[in-house]
Chain A
Amino acid sequence: MGEEITLNITRYNPDKDGKYTTQRYSIPYKNDWSILDALNYVKAELDGSLTYRWSCRMAVCGSCGMMVNGTPRLTCSTYLNEFYPKEITIEPLANFPVIRDLVVDINDFMAKLKSAKPWIIRKNKRDEDDTSKEYLQTTGQMDKYYQQTLCINCTLCYAACPVYGLHPDFLGPAVIALGHRYNKDSRDEGKADRREVLASEHGVWKCTVVGDCTEVCPKHVDPSAAIQRTKVDSAINWFFSFLTGRK
Chain B
Amino acid sequence: MAHSMNSISGKTEATKTYRRDIPNTWWLKKGSYFLFILREISSVFVALYAIFLLIQLCALSGGQERYESTAAVFKSGWMIILHVVIWVFVMYNMVTWFRISGRIFGAKPLSPVLVTISNYIIWLIVSIGIIFLLLKG
What residues make up the interface of A, taking CB atoms closer than 8 Å to B? 12, 14-15, 18, 20, 70, 94-95, 97-99, 105, 143-144, 162, 165-166, 208-212, 214-215, 222, 224-225, 228-229, 232
A-B contact pairs, 22 of them (CB 8 A): A12-B18, A14-B15, A18-B16, A18-B18, A70-B29, A94-B20, A95-B22, A97-B19, A98-B17, A98-B19, A99-B17, A105-B17, A162-B22, A165-B22, A165-B26, A208-B36, A208-B40, A209-B100, A210-B33, A215-B32, A222-B103, A225-B107
- What's the minimum C-beta distance from B13 to chain A, rounded to whole angstroms? 11
Question: What is the CA–CA distance of A246 and B29 in the complex, to the nearest angstrom?
Answer: 46
Judge whether B17 and A97 touch: CB under 8 Å: yes
Residue among A99, A165, A210, A232 with the highest chain B CB neighbour number at 10 A: A210
- Given known contacts A162-B26, A225-B104, A228-B103, is B18 in contact with A211 (CB within 8 Å)? no
Judge whether B32 and A14 touch: CB under 8 Å: no
A166 contact set on B, CB distance < 8 A? 22, 26
User: Could you say which interface size class chain B belongs to?
Assistant: 20 to 34
Known: A12-B18, A97-B19. 20 other contacts (CB 8 A): A14-B17, A18-B18, A70-B30, A97-B18, A98-B19, A99-B17, A144-B107, A144-B108, A162-B22, A162-B27, A166-B22, A208-B36, A208-B40, A210-B33, A212-B32, A215-B32, A222-B103, A225-B104, A225-B107, A232-B104
Question: What is the CA–CA distance of A212 and B100 in the complex, to the nearest angstrom?
Answer: 13
Select A99's contact among B15, B22, B33, B108, beta carbons within 8 Å. B15
A20 contact set on B, CB distance < 8 A? 18, 20
B1-45 residues at the A interface, CB under 8 angstroms: 15-20, 22, 26-27, 29-30, 32-33, 36, 40
Question: What is the CA–CA distance of A214 and B103 in the complex, to the nearest angstrom?
Answer: 11
- Nearest 7 pairs of A and B residues by beta carbon: A97-B17, A98-B18, A228-B104, A14-B16, A210-B36, A165-B22, A225-B103
- What's the minimum C-beta distance from A123 to chain B, rounded to whole angstroms? 26
A228 contact set on B, CB distance < 8 A? 100, 103-104
- What's the minimum C-beta distance from A5 to chain B, rounded to whole angstroms? 24
CB-CB nearest in chain B for A143? B108
B15 contact set on A, CB distance < 8 A? 14-15, 99
Select B36's contact among A70, A98, A211, beta carbons within 8 Å. A211
Question: What is the CA–CA distance of A72 and B12 in the complex, to the nearest angstrom?
Answer: 32
B32 contact set on A, CB distance < 8 A? 210-212, 215
Question: What is the CA–CA distance of A151 and B23 in the complex, to the nearest angstrom?
Answer: 30
CB-CB nearest in chain A for B108? A143
- What's the minimum C-beta distance from A235 to chain B, rounded to whole angstroms? 12
Question: What is the CA–CA distance of A143 and B36 in the complex, to the nearest angstrom?
Answer: 30
Question: What is the CA–CA distance of A15 and B108 in the complex, to the nearest angstrom?
Answer: 52
Judge whether B104 and A162 touch: CB under 8 Å: no
A105 contact set on B, CB distance < 8 A? 17
B27 contact set on A, CB distance < 8 A? 162
Judge whether B33 and A212 touch: CB under 8 Å: yes
CB-CB nearest in chain B for A104? B17
B74-119 residues at the A interface, CB under 8 angstroms: 100, 103-104, 107-108
Select B104's contact among A94, A99, A212, A229, beta carbons within 8 Å. A229
B103 contact set on A, CB distance < 8 A? 214, 222, 224-225, 228
- What's the minimum C-beta distance from A168 to chain B, rounded to whole angstroms? 10
A224 contact set on B, CB distance < 8 A? 103
A97 contact set on B, CB distance < 8 A? 17-19
